[in-house]
Amino acid sequence: MLAVVGVIILAPRAGSRIEPLTPPPARSALPRYLVTYGNGTSFVPGGGPGYVRATATGRVLARIPAAARDFTVEGVAAAPGDRVFYLIGMTFAGPSAVNVECFRLVLDANGRPSVPRRLPGPPLLVPVPATSNGATIIPLAISPDDQELA
């Protein structure tokens, strides 16, 4: 009986060579660069300047040039790839309001940022809520085709 079971199990393998499975070549899913904002070492609610970081190490490579006078970054969205980013933030419009504006930022091959370019359209005038103490986070997203901001 054992001989019959052995023949049934091993017979199909006798004539065929089993190839080991090899994984595809390793490819990093991480982009090379990341744009962050805050104080350069940690996230700060309420915005701050922007920074370019090396994704692999987290090291700050560059500070992003000021998008506008007194502009604080309040949100970032990355376009597909690792070179185009969108910044949303605020500039003061008076004691009780801010202008919300969007900028496009392009990194060169070494991660050096361009001067952010303001997107067309008027800024959004927003009253400052008394309870927020100015600490705001503005969620921002870009469509996969890099054509629409939300």
Domain boundaries, given as residue ranges, for the chain: 30-150
3-state DSSP assignment of residue 14: helix
Distance (Å, rounded) from C-alpha 1 to C-alpha 85? Answer: 70
Distance (Å, rounded) from C-alpha 15 to C-alpha 4? Answer: 18
Here the tokens at position 97 are 């309001």
Per-residue pLDDT reduced to its tens digit, 50-100: 899 998 898 999 998 888 888 888 888 999 888 999 998 888 888 888 889
Name the E strands within the chain: 33-37, 50-54, 60-63, 72-78, 84-94, 97-106, 117-118, 124-127
Distance (Å, rounded) from C-alpha 83 to C-alpha 60? Answer: 15
pTM, full prediction:
0.71
Torsion of CA 140, 120, 61, 138, to 10 degrees: -20
Confidence of residue 135 (pLDDT cuts 50, 70, 90): low
